[in-house]
Amino acid sequence: MSKSGDPKLLILISTVLITCFGTLRMSPSQQQQQPQTTVRITSDLVVLSVSVRDRVGNLVPDLRREQFRLLDDGVEQEIKVFTEESFPLSLVILVDNDVNGNAGIQLVQSLRALMGGVSLQDEATVCRFDMLFYPGNGFTSNIDKLMAELKSTQAEIRPTPTYVPEPVVCDNSTTGSPCIPAPTYSGSRPSKALDDAVYSAANLLEHAGADRRKIILVISDGVNEPKLNKHDFESVREKLLFDNISVFSLAVGNNTAKRKYSRLANYSRISGGDIYYASKSRTMEQFYARITEQARHEYTLAYVPAGNERDSKYHRIELRVSGNGLTAQTREGYYKNRPAETPKE
């Protein structure tokens, strides 16, 4: 197995393109400068990042190409590229700025542990969101800079603790004041635009290199106010699928009510990512390294679509894997052309 960052995948893809589309020709002037020639290749190659789990949810390594069956719009495809390389990440760490109560306190305490899952070959940026998106300082591979950004993020997030009011004692005398109802306080009402935040994070990853896995790690309680978003779920979905961006979610808070995390779960599912649930900082810290390792060590499959519905805007992918109790997970499809940005009015 090659080291992280090895451009083996790019070499494999280039070989596939030349095989599928013929020998590339250069003009006479290009031939004279052949040592410095840059050849631009256009193709319909579709690249998939794939994770495989067994019955109990463990990731499964060391599978063979022959164990995978790939369908595009229901038509079986030939897998041209297959590798289990460890690739570096282009990672957007997207932190919910408005998680109140104990969940918010646990989130803040856990953030510094994120550095345990980031390698020297990765590039990452730390962003925050509430009703707005705060893009951070851009991608860096400098661990010290990332740590400084995480410390800054911790300082910016000030979760409101849950307040339990003191009981009010009524004066029952004839001259006493009437009883005043006890005040109620449950923290500020969440005002968050989760859809817009994921879309903005995806924009930051749009031009990441093909030799990197493009990942958004969302750390949030899943609350989303549709009226605050300029982009709806479908437009974010198109963006993620076109640019082959995977969303991994860490759902923080009371994980017995998983329905409130449905937005996070849906983004993770459609993009071929994953979702983890945690309420304590120690559990969050353990999941950070697990999420980045899963993203880094996925299988990579690539194919040139044949026999599918070529005029269709969207193409549905179905991936199957043979083996006792094994299930494969990847993005649910892809778009042939870049979706037009159509924010809500």
**Domain boundaries, given as residue ranges, for the chain:** 8-26+41-86+299-335, 89-157+189-296
- Tens of pLDDT, residue by residue over 105-152, are 899 989 889 888 898 899 999 999 999 999 999 999 999 999 999 999
Average pLDDT over residues 61-87: 95
Instruction: Determine which helix (DSSP H) or strand (DSSP E) holds 28, and give its type and residue range.
Output: helix 28-32
- Tens of pLDDT, residue by residue over 331-340, are 999 998 877 6
For tokens 């297959």, the residue is: 82
CA distance 212 to 210: 5
To which CATH superfamily is domain 89-157+189-296 assigned? von Willebrand factor, type A domain (3.40.50.410)
Q: How many whole angstroms from its chain centre is CA 238?
A: 14
pLDDT, position 239: 96
CA distance 221 to 98: 9
CA-closest candidate to residue 246, choices 283, 272, 282, 225: 272
